[in-house]
């Protein structure tokens, strides 16, 4: 922590700050320059972080030196975390994991049909929403428990890992009973009580980046889950909100290498929600793998015209299948590989 | 709803879209121009809004004409909503309501001390956090129920309306039992299940704008609460996230007149979270009233150096009191008034 | 300047950095902590700022302590700068200056008509564009020199100070010959050669903030002008670009008090370009004065339906006149005053 | 163009608008619905675009249907433009073009050394700045003409195409005399007079996207150059400004496929300025090619510690060479190829 003092700071103010720092069991280093005096405080910053030093008279600015997260950091764990999703699928290692399926689970026949297609193309994880965060109260809110049951049935029948979103701290146990991986959506990235709940379970959690969140904010939210005891966290870049209006969100592709530098956790890319239009999805998916992502989350629908949500951004199975072939080559070029089957 | 077709659209594709629109009980108007054909669909858009028209072959773009919200709109209700907060305080009318107090409730003595100061200066609502959304799992998370009890005791003793945040759908009843107004924080603006829960109670709700939310997004979230039966909603502009780094957030002052045009609900400004630094709070508070806000939410602390959260942005009582005097003049200049007592 | 080192930094790397710092004639202070070593370099940072310390092995991050601007800073000059615009009008002192007029100069009769109206309402500076930065090459690009001549004629006749934009370094002398204040538009805020040219003249310059510029960026651009010898610079907040789409830009009202803290230069607000819609202009204008701005720049047109540019955001003279009356009250409430005449 | 009317619009107001539209030689189509009346105007929108319809009484909103650019659009030209850069290098076709070199030209020996390295690694275009847009007036501003002479000498000697930035409309002829491709930097993307000047020359122009510009804004700026007669324009995505602070800018990777859909012009990616840190450059470069970019612009320096600008984001030749090998594989995976030599 660096405390930058105002040019007009008094000796009494400096002493007051130093006393405070010492009182917290830390050692301040004062450096006086021609224009500014600064106080460096080397040591555990956590105790200082919750002290409102900027409210002290004479303080101009307080600059943290250490990252505020611990368990998720590369410093805590040097090697990449490899997370077991069940059914033989692991993420974070050499193999790239592709998760695909409809935005919303509509009925069992349709889910089976899409699931067979994405499996054939090489996906190993089936996505499908049962609890849907909809901006309008008048939109379809998902099938709930019935949808989860369908997802489990299809996943078991086809040997696919399943993933679905949980939106409410009251539903964590229910969702965990039916699916292999629990997804926290972007709007809940800072729903801290929900993070605490999924921190207390034993299943892997996919945490999506919030639309106005920095990479560091995302890591802090992951820290909530790890600090609760659940180290099986997968991060997901799905676009942030900017002034650009030709896409639904702006995919922050740099978040992939930045996260890899700062953390040991796997990170995947969701090109569908970033683009908002299916025609852009293949380019973003390929960019994601080229940039070093550990996987992809892609919306696929067999009849996008009839999808109850996000039809405009869903790939039809044929295009998804073509994309998977191109992804294979890119994965190889960056020393990774897709599923053996393709 | 306007459906803009691609230049290369075929007659068969146009017919397919028209059949779909008619099948939904609506009437399409086709206009063919030299470069583009468009289809205007006049009528209730809700049914079209959930149909993924952009997924239809030949469609370039779909442009909504009507706003997606109804109950919160000026068209639904022409006159301003005036909401009764209890203890004789109403918001949305001529009188401006100032809500003030500490970010976090720390103990009863301190809360009493601050409450007396803000009351003396003219505030009529006492704010204080009992459940705190903290970005770090290692930060103090609030006193919970004990904090709510303190808030009720102080509010009753001093005749102040009370407001406190609810973060979890499981806590709505508890918070509603103790406080007069429930606050939904910016990180929960799109926690739709929480919105449904507060839509089912009888107490006023203060809904803060999310950091990456447009004004229209905020109105859609308010629509969730109204559609649940609770029309006592107060909106709050507290800053959005931009590239500017000299403030914690960028106060979107235009949100005040924009909301007033689109909706009948009251809107207040939170200058403290927008600024992040107490030295900027007075300017933003004054700008808020000048722009037409119905109230303010201001953090005040008697010993900011010891505040457990947000000390850097808290005004001390003396400065809050000075600010109130200046606000009085501005309120008068725009045809409003502050509390009688000042 | 604070140099934060990587956890795995070696002694040799530390020595290499220290040698570099000493070689530049500066004194490094090394502080070793449990998790990080930092090197504080107190002294003139300019020489370090141009040295790519982040490219040195072992360096994680370099944090500047001093602001990169000098002449524009509050530290260089404690008291507010008051700038003489000519014809008895000064900006930066107690009196608030309102600049008004059409976006584009269309013809002399029309300019006279608008100028008389804005003068009657209390404006003391007449704005009008002769060189227009248009996003489309097919839009009207302004009357050029003929427009400047009209502006001078009207200004002289009515005793109004005149302001007009200069877009090209080749036109600085021409514009300076005809108008009292030269405006640098937001798209040219970082046209550094143009800044150098206006730094070499003797007339006041109004510098608009770029759409993606921070307050500090704006101050650095002003530094270009002051470092060229021209200290008569007025800053202008006119909105930045964000995801909010109900306004043309997002007026960053906080920029007013932030600039006042960092710099001695006057700052005004342009509510017209921020809003993009005339119905929002009065609220933003009032907010600007309440927040502490030294003036306003407002588009006024007598027949907005026929304006060749920005008709949608222009106030008609009647509404401008009403606004001026309200502004008078707000100015008084914050210890300022508008023009004597109103 | 769609004109959406207010709910309370009068018949007289509708007639006034219709008369205006007809007076412009266009045909309005009125559709009346239960909640709103809209007027569709099919035909050349250009004449309407400059008419301030939003200023007409009764108008709520005006929605353009056609894109505002013509010559740069896919509709104007269906096939991809392939641009001849000289010395046998073409961009926009199957072959990917890599431009590399130092941020700033420092001296001829150093430039030769870097140029030999990047050529050996497979780059075919040498970049080097002679006129430098620096945010501080106190920073080194470039060698000017002497730098251009060095660039030409090295380019000719090694058979490399050369590219350098032009910042001032007065310098266009000078820069065009010495280099093969003229670069317009992001800060000048809307310096319209400079765009007109490079529209009048015969050499290829690389146009960088502004930090707060949408893809459509970039295309409008390119339209300026094409409308001047110069169709040899290459676009460049180099990052936009967002709230994310772990990178210098946020690379908008989606801009690559979006531009390809809207325009026939080639687009390249500049990973160096987007990242701001060399460690992130390889990931972004690979993502760019995977997303479909036609080339890359990469900063390479042999001694980043001594670079006069942007040392922190420059790759050393060894890392650039490794990157080129990986790019080759990715290019092949997406049906493209790098330079024959590698």
Q: D63 CB near a chain A CB, below 8 Å?
A: no
Using a 10 angstrom Cβ sphere, with 0-12 exposed, 13-18 middle and 19 or more buried, the burial of residue B275 is buried
Helix (H) or strand (E) run with residue D317 in it: helix D317-333
- CB within 8 Å: C43 and A29: no
- Integer angstrom CA distances of residue B339 from B113, C287, D154, D287, D306: 20, 21, 76, 59, 64
- CB within 8 Å: B250 and C247: no
DSSP string, B39-63: EEEES--HHHHTS-GGGSTTEEEEE
Residue C307 with chain D: CB contacts under 8 Å: 52, 55
**For residues B251-269, average pLDDT:** 98
Is residue B196 within 8 A of residue B219, CB to CB? The reply is: no
- Integer angstrom CA distances of residue C99 from C178, C260, C320, D68: 17, 20, 11, 32
Q: How confident is the model at residue C83 (pLDDT cuts 50, 70, 90)?
A: very high
Helix (H) or strand (E) run with residue C325 in it: helix C317-333
Q: How far apart are CA A102 and CA A310, in angstroms?
A: 9
Q: B245 CB near a chain C CB, below 8 Å?
A: yes
Q: How many CA atoms lie within 13 A of D264 on its CB side?
A: 19
In a domain, D230, yes or no: yes
The answer to whether residues C124 and C27 belong to one domain is no
Distance from CA of A115 to the nearest CA of B (A): 20
Q: C276 CB near a chain B CB, below 8 Å?
A: no
Identify the residue whose tokens are 């230049």.
Answer: B7
Is residue C52 within 8 A of residue C43, CB to CB? The reply is: no
In a domain, B277, yes or no: yes
Pairing of strands B89-91, B83-86: antiparallel
Residue C191 with chain D: CB contacts under 8 Å: 167, 187-188, 191
Q: How far is CA C257 from the centre of its chain?
A: 14
Q: B242 CB near a chain C CB, below 8 Å?
A: yes
Token pair for residue C169?
Answer: 């370094």
Indicate the range of A201-205, C315-319, D307-311 predicted with least confidence: D307-311
Pairing of strands B37-42, B2-5: antiparallel
Residue D137 with chain C: CB contacts under 8 Å: 192, 195-196, 223-224, 227-228
Residue D251 with chain A: CB contacts under 8 Å: 252-254
Residue C35: is its pLDDT beyond 80? Answer: no
The answer to whether residues B59 and B88 belong to one domain is no
The answer to whether residues D96 and D59 belong to one domain is no
What share of chain C has pLDDT > 90, as a percent?
Answer: 75
- CB within 8 Å: C250 and B245: no
Q: How far apart are CA D331 and CA D244, in angstroms?
A: 29
ipTM: 0.93
Q: D64 CB near a chain B CB, below 8 Å?
A: no
DSSP string, C178-196: H-SEEEEPGGGTT-HHHHH
Q: B44 CB near a chain D CB, below 8 Å?
A: yes
- CB within 8 Å: B242 and C242: yes
Which chain C residue has its CA at the smallest distance from B256's CA? C283
- CB within 8 Å: C63 and A2: yes
- Supply the CATH number for residue A21's domain: 3.30.70.1140
Q: Which of A281-285, C335-339, D33-37 has the highest mean pLDDT?
A: A281-285
Residue B255 with chain C: CB contacts under 8 Å: 244
Indicate the range of A223-227, B60-64, D195-199 predicted with least confidence: B60-64
Q: How many CB atoms lie within 10 A of CB C78?
A: 8
Q: How far apart are CA A332 and CA D330, in angstroms?
A: 9
Residue D287 with chain A: CB contacts under 8 Å: 253, 287-288, 290-291
CA dihedral angle for residue A87, residue A88, residue A94, residue A98, rounded to 10 degrees: -20
**Sheet with A27-32, edge to edge strand ranges:** A27-32, A37-42, A2-5, A59-63
Considering only CA atoms, which of C64, C69, C67 is closest in space to residue C1?
A: C64
DSSP string, B54-104: GGSTTEEEEE--S-S--TTBTTT--SPP-EEEETTEEESSSEEEEEEE-SB
- CB within 8 Å: B257 and C284: yes
Residue B36 with chain D: CB contacts under 8 Å: 42, 65-66
**For residues B14-20, average pLDDT:** 91
DSSP string, A45-67: -HHHHTS-GGGSTTEEEEE--S-
Q: A23 CB near a chain B CB, below 8 Å?
A: no
Q: How far apart are CA B313 and CA A282, in angstroms?
A: 46
Distance from CA of B291 to the nearest CA of A (A): 24
- Integer angstrom CA distances of residue D40 from A208, A323, B13, D11, D212: 41, 39, 21, 17, 31
Q: C188 CB near a chain D CB, below 8 Å?
A: yes
The answer to whether residues A182 and A221 belong to one domain is yes
The answer to whether residues D211 and D314 belong to one domain is yes
Task: Give strand pairing partners of D31.
Answer: D38
Helix (H) or strand (E) run with residue A324 in it: helix A317-333
Residue B209 with chain A: CB contacts under 8 Å: none
Q: How confident is the model at residue B275 (pLDDT cuts 50, 70, 90)?
A: very high
- CB within 8 Å: D326 and A333: yes
- CB within 8 Å: D330 and A330: yes
In a domain, C75, yes or no: no
Q: How confident is the model at residue D341 (pLDDT cuts 50, 70, 90)?
A: low
pLDDT at C162: 98
* Domain that residue B46 falls in: 2-63
Residue C44: is its pLDDT beyond 90? Answer: no
**For residues C130-135, average pLDDT:** 93
The answer to whether residues A59 and A87 belong to one domain is no
- CB within 8 Å: C330 and B330: yes
- CB within 8 Å: D334 and A333: no
- Integer angstrom CA distances of residue D37 from A41, B25, B263, D11, D193: 66, 19, 21, 11, 41
- Integer angstrom CA distances of residue C248 from B31, C278, D31: 29, 11, 28
The answer to whether residues B191 and B131 belong to one domain is yes
Q: What is the pTM of this model?
A: 0.94
Residue C26 with chain A: CB contacts under 8 Å: none
Helix (H) or strand (E) run with residue A199 in it: helix A192-199
- CB within 8 Å: A242 and D251: no
User: Which of B76, B243, B244, B261 is the best residue to mutate to test the D interface, defined by the most D CB atoms within 10 Å of its own CB?
Assistant: B243
Using a 10 angstrom Cβ sphere, with 0-12 exposed, 13-18 middle and 19 or more buried, the burial of residue C135 is middle
Distance from CA of D285 to the nearest CA of B (A): 24
Q: How far apart are CA A10 and CA A151, in angstroms?
A: 66
Pairing of strands D59-63, A27-32: unpaired
In a domain, D191, yes or no: yes
Which chain C residue has its CA at the smallest distance from D47's CA? C139
In a domain, D106, yes or no: yes
Task: Give strand pairing partners of D73.
Answer: D263
- Supply the CATH number for residue D224's domain: 3.20.20.70
Residue B84: is its pLDDT beyond 70? Answer: yes
- CB within 8 Å: D46 and C220: no
Domains of chain B: total: 2
pLDDT at B50: 67
The answer to whether residues C116 and C49 belong to one domain is no
The answer to whether residues A188 and A43 belong to one domain is no
In a domain, D272, yes or no: yes
Q: C329 CB near a chain B CB, below 8 Å?
A: yes
Residues 190-229 of B with CB under 8 A from C: 212, 214-216
What is the distance in angstroms between the CA of the first residue and the CA of the last residue of chain B?
A: 51
Per-residue pLDDT of chain A (342 residues; tens, 9 = 90+): 788 898 889 999 999 999 988 888 888 888 887 778 888 887 677 777 667 788 888 888 888 877 889 999 998 999 999 999 999 999 999 999 999 999 999 999 999 999 999 999 999 999 999 999 998 898 889 999 999 999 999 999 999 999 999 999 999 999 999 999 999 999 999 999 999 999 999 999 999 999 999 999 999 999 999 999 999 999 999 999 999 999 999 999 999 999 999 999 999 999 999 999 999 999 999 999 999 999 999 999 999 888 877 788 999 999 999 999 999 999 999 999 997 665
Q: Is the dihedral of CA A278, A284, A289, A294 positive or negative?
A: negative
- pLDDT tens string D51-93: 778 888 888 888 887 788 999 999 899 999 999 999 999 999 9
Q: In whole angstroms, how large is the CA radius of gyration of chain C?
A: 23
- CB within 8 Å: D212 and C211: yes
Pairing of strands B161-165, B181-184: parallel
The answer to whether residues B16 and B127 belong to one domain is no
In a domain, A227, yes or no: yes
Sequence-ordered list of residues with C-beta below 8 angstroms from that of A19, at least 6 positions apart, any chain: none
In a domain, B104, yes or no: yes
- pLDDT tens string D105-130: 999 999 999 999 999 999 999 999 99
- CB within 8 Å: A42 and C29: no
- pLDDT tens string C94-115: 999 999 999 999 999 999 999 9
- CB within 8 Å: D332 and A330: no
The answer to whether residues A106 and A241 belong to one domain is yes
- CB within 8 Å: A42 and C36: yes
Q: In whole angstroms, how large is the CA radius of gyration of chain D?
A: 23
Is residue D133 within 8 A of residue C134, CB to CB? The reply is: no
Q: A278 CB near a chain B CB, below 8 Å?
A: yes
Q: How far apart are CA A123 and CA A268, in angstroms?
A: 14
The answer to whether residues B24 and B155 belong to one domain is no
- CB within 8 Å: A55 and B224: no
- Say whether B5 sits in a helix, a strand or coil: strand
């Amino acid at each position: 922590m660096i405390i930058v003092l105002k040019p007009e700071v008094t000796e009494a103010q400096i002493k007051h700050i130093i006393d405070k720092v010492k009182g917290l069991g830390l050692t301040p280093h004062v450096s006086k320059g021609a224009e500014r005096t600064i106080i460096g405080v080397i040591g555990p910053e956590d105790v200082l972080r919750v002290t409102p030093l900027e409210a002290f008279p004479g303080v101009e600015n307080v600059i943290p030196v250490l990252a505020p997260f611990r368990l998720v950091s590369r410093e805590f764990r040097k090697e990449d975390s490899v997370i077991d999703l069940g059914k033989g699928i692991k993420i974070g290692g050499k193999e790239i994991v592709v998760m695909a399926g409809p935005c919303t689970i509509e009925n069992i026949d349709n889910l089976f049909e899409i699931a067979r297609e994405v499996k054939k193309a090489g996906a190993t994880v089936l996505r499908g929403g049962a609890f849907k965060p909809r901006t309008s109260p008048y939109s379809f809110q998902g099938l709930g428990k019935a949808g989860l049951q369908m997802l489990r049935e299809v996943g078991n029948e086809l040997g696919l890992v399943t993933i679905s979103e949980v939106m409410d701290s009251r539903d964590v146990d229910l969702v965990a009973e039916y699916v292999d991986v629990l997804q926290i959506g972007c709007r809940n990235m800072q729903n801290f009580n929900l993070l605490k709940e999924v921190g207390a379970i034993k299943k892997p959690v996919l945490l999506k980046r919030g639309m106005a969140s920095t990479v560091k904010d995302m890591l802090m939210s992951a820290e909530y889950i790890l600090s609760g005891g659940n180290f099986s966290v997968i991060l997901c870049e799905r676009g942030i909100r900017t002034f650009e209006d030709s896409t639904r969100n702006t995919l922050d592709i740099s978040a992939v290498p930045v996260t890899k530098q700062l953390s040991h956790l796997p990170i995947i890319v969701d090109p569908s929600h970033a683009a908002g239009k299916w025609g852009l999805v293949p380019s973003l998916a390929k960019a994601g793998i080229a940039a070093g992502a550990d996987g992809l989350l892609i919306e696929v629908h067999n009849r996008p015209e009839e999808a109850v949500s996000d039809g405009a951004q869903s790939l039809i199975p044929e295009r998804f299948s073509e994309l998977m072939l191109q992804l294979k080559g890119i994965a190889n070029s960056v020393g990774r590989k897709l599923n053996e089957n393709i």
